[in-house]
Amino acid sequence: MDAEEYLAKARTYYHKVGRENFWKLIDDFYENLRHDPLLRDMYPDDLEPAKERLFLFVIQYFGGPQTYAEQRGHPKLKVRHAPFPITDEARKHWIGHMSDAILKNPMDDECKEFIMGYFDHTARFLMNR
C-alpha cells in the first residue's frame, strides 16, 4: 500500500468506528493522561480544550468533518510538538495510554489494529529529543 492508498483507507474509519466511539477513545485517553505526572505537566491546566483539539484532529484524519482545519488550520504536528520534550519515554507513556483506551473501546478488532498502527507511527515521527 503506498501513502495515497493508506490515506484513502484511513479515511474510511470515521464511518466504521463512528463519532461516539472516537469521542470515547479520546476521552478515555485523557482520563489516563490526567494521572500520569510525566505527561500531565506538559499539557495545559484545563485539559478540556486540548481534548477537543485531539478529538477534532483524529476524526478529521480518519475521514470525518474538517472542523479541526477550520479552527486550527494545517495541523503542523511536528512544529506544534516542538516545545514539548518527546523522548522515547514520553512516547511510550503516550502510546501506553492510547493503547489502553483502544483496547477497551467497542470498535472492532480490525479498526483497533489500524488505528493503533497510525498512532504508533505518528508518535515515533513526533519524537524530538
Place of cell 477537543: 52
Binding of residue 26 to ligand HEM (CB under 6 A): no
- Taking the complex as a whole, the smallest distance from the CB of residue 71 to ligand HEM amounts, in Å, to 8
Identified binder of ligand HEM from the candidate list 7, 77, 82, 103, rule CB under 6 A? 77
DSSP per-residue letters across 103-116: HTSSS-HHHHHHHH
Map the footprint of ligand HEM across residues 78-107, applying CB under 6 A: 80-81, 84, 86, 90-91, 94
Angle value at C-alpha 104, between 3 and 89, nearest 5 degrees: 65
Minimal distance in Å, beta carbon 97 to ligand HEM?
A: 10
Phi and psi angles of residue 71, each rounded to the nearest 5 degrees, phi first: -90, -35
Q: Which of 16, 54, 99, 100 binds ligand HEM (CB under 6 A)?
A: 54
**Can you tell me which of 21, 50, 100, 112 binds ligand HEM, judged by CB under 6 A?**
50
- The residues near 76 (Cβ < 8 Å, ≥ 6 apart) are none
